[in-house]
Amino acid sequence: MVKKTKADALKTRQHLIETAITQFALRGVGNTTLNDIADAANVTRGAIYWHFENKNQLFNELWLQQPALRDLIQDRLTSYPGDNPLQDLREKLVAGLQYIAENPRQQALLQILYHKCEFHNGMTSEQEIREKIGFSHQTMRELLQQCMAKNLISISLDLDVILIILHGSFSGIVKNWLMNPASYDLYNQAPVLVDNVLRMLSPEGCVMQLMQSDNCVEEA
């Protein structure tokens, strides 16, 4: 019998995590057992219990190792941070939606979060998961503050209220799209979706002109 190496064990563990993501997204977390995951991964039941004591531990581990959305989209960003914070915010939001639209694994994770999980004690909290897998609350606040400082958006806006609206808007876009991905083309419509959400921040319509000019405030 060939003795398994540490690398083999880590590979099996990751395979179980990836299989769990697929099964949770398909069946729902509550309806999926460790045996279901072992069967789908084509490993023995003993193998899964060797790596994970229970389903909560497996559930928590998959979120613990998941990179934040802001890190996953970093190489898609082209604007120079600080040059135009409104353009920076727009680009991050578009890149985030497009990453979700073309990445099945990210879609499965969001499917679990929005449609396939009932949270209880012992599980990573819904709030923690949202902070990691969604648009960064702190980053959005900082960019909006920079926009105000540069008069790119109305300085009379209540940032706490605006952040609630922005998060609700983009969570709703993704959540509804996941229910029926064929209903619209999220990837190609991401720019116009973002522009229309951000338009409420700028009565002068600067957001709609971002692709044409970065100097709309000066021209207004």
| Better pLDDT: 6 or 162 | 162
Under 8 Å between Cβ of 100 and 174:
yes
Nearest in space to 96 (alpha carbons), one of 69, 130, 126, 62: 69
Neighbours of 161 (CB within 10 A): 9
Coil/strand/helix, residue 33: coil
- Rounded mean pLDDT, 83-95: 92
Q: Is pLDDT at 44 greater than 50 in this prediction?
A: yes
Model pLDDT for residues 168-216, shown as the tens digit of each residue: 999 999 999 999 999 999 999 999 999 999 988 875 545 445 444 444 4
Model pLDDT for residues 59-79, shown as the tens digit of each residue: 999 999 999 999 999 999 986
Q: Assign residue 151 a region (left: φ > 0; alpha: ψ between -120 and 50; beta: otherwise).
A: left
What whole-number percentage of the chain has pLDDT above 90?
Answer: 72
**Residue 82, pLDDT score:** 66
Token representation of residue 48: 């899964």
Structural domains in the chain, sorted by start: 6-64 (1.10.10.60), 69-219 (1.10.357.10)
Under 8 Å between Cβ of 134 and 66:
no
Instruction: State the alpha helices, DSSP H only, in the chain.
Output: 6-27, 34-41, 45-51, 55-64, 69-72, 85-102, 104-115, 126-133, 137-149, 159-179, 186-198, 216-219
56-79 b/e (C-beta count within 10 Å ≥ 16 → b): eebbbbbbeebeebbebbeeeeeb
Residue 45 makes CB contacts below 8 A (sequence gap 6+) with 34, 35, 38
Q: Is pLDDT at 143 greater than 90 in this prediction?
A: yes
